[in-house]
Copies of this chain bind each other. A is one copy, B any other.
């Protein structure tokens, strides 16, 4: 198999209906949240192969994570753990603020260890994708991520990193050297401008990230589109104008769009157009992964133009 291989923590997420204080919510839905599994689903919806590895607890939430990923066409390597599966609660306090509470400390997903990473799967992958979230979860998670990266490099498999700095999980001070180290080992890197500024000094995040080593640097900047330096050539793609209803998951859709097209052998310009379109589609749909589009939905949205 030559598709995407990714690893990380996926959690159950309770999302409150409506807008208002959490205590007034009339009801909740239970979904699955996880940046890496979102990317895996996104790649699968766009027609690529995708495998996700992670630990899940002995509870129904763990089973739901595996089932929902499989339903979306993702191959699941779920390592059973005796700790409970992590949970999140998300509610919209007002039309302007979304709040998220983590209930994930000590969770099954945070107990991933290097030995969980299957060498053969890594070696057979078309690309290995990790994020900067997993190293923040625990020492063993950090070791597992770097182990997977090194296994990929040893096998000649390209490594993709989405920086994804999470201030609720660790301080900027703790995160910066780890994220810098991770990026320096990557072939493909995705970051927002503020994330990049955590560990690079130049004003231009594209250049700064590229100097750390990755041959493909993509800086996502939300409604301003993206800038990239791919094998020495610069690209800029503006955002598509859409009626945004929920920005959650847009970054993962963007990454999935780029990587799906990369796996499919598309050129960099096309990858970026697909990334922009996938991210644009995602913000027109509420939810973490409900907005990940398939190819026909992307086509309906239109494609975006490279302006340089």
Tell me if A105 counts as interface (CB < 8 A to partner B): yes
Contacts of A67 in B (CB 8 A): 23, 71
Q: Closest B-chain residue to A106, C-beta based?
A: B106
| CB contact under 8 A between A101 and B24, given known A14-B14, A243-B96 | no
Interface residue? A287 (CB, 8 A): yes
CB distance from A55 to the nearest CB of B (A): 14
- The reply to whether A290 and B60 form a contact with Cβ atoms under 8 Å apart is no
Which of the residues B18, B71, B284 comes within 8 Å of A70, measured between beta carbons?
A: B71
Known A71-B67, A285-B19: A29·B30 in contact at CB below 8 Å:
no
Chain B residue contacts of A20, Cβ below 8 A: 285-287, 290-291
Kindly state whether residue A155 has any CB partner on chain B within 8 Å: no
* Given the contacts A60-B101, A67-B71, A95 and B14 also touching, CB distance less than 8 Å: no
Size of the A side of the interface (Cβ < 8 Å), in residues, is 60
- Considering the chains assembled together, what is the distance between the CA atoms of A101 and B70 in angstroms? 23
Q: Mark A283-308, 1 if CB is under 8 A from B, else 0.
A: 01111001100000100110000000
From B28, B29, B93, give the contact of A297 (CB < 8 A).
Answer: B93
Instruction: Tell me the smallest distance from the CB of A34 to a CB of chain B, in Å.
Output: 16
Chain B residue with Cβ nearest A104: B84
**Complex Cα gap A271–B61 (Å):** 31
Asked if residues B242 and A23 are in contact (CB atoms below 8 Å), the reply is: no
Residues of B within 8 A of A64 (CB): 22-23
Closest Cβ of chain B to A140, distance in Å, is 16
- Chain B residues with CB under 8 Å of A243's CB are 95-96
Distance in angstroms between the alpha carbons of A58 and B264 in the assembled complex:
26
Are A284 and B96 in contact, CB atoms less than 8 angstroms apart? yes
Task: Find chain B residues with CB under 8 A from A242 CB.
Answer: 95-96
Q: How far is the CA of A103 from the CA of B105 in the complex (A)?
A: 10
Interface residues of A in 19-54 (CB under 8 A from B): 19-30
In angstroms, Cα B16 to Cα A30, docked, is 9
Contacts of A291 in B (CB 8 A): 20, 94
Whether the Cβ atoms of B18 and A61 lie closer than 8 Å is no
- Chain B residues within 8 Å of A30, by CB: 14, 16, 22-23, 25, 28
Residues A144-203 near B (CB distance < 8 A): none
A13 to chain B, nearest CB (A): 11
- Does A115 touch B at the CB level, under 8 Å? no
Residues of B within 8 A of A28 (CB): 14, 27-30
How near does chain B come to A288, taking the closest CB pair, in angstroms? 11
Jot down 5 A-B pairs with beta carbons below 8 A, ordered by A: A17-B27, A19-B245, A19-B285, A20-B290, A20-B291
Closest 5 CB pairs of A and B: A71-B71, A94-B284, A59-B101, A22-B60, A20-B290
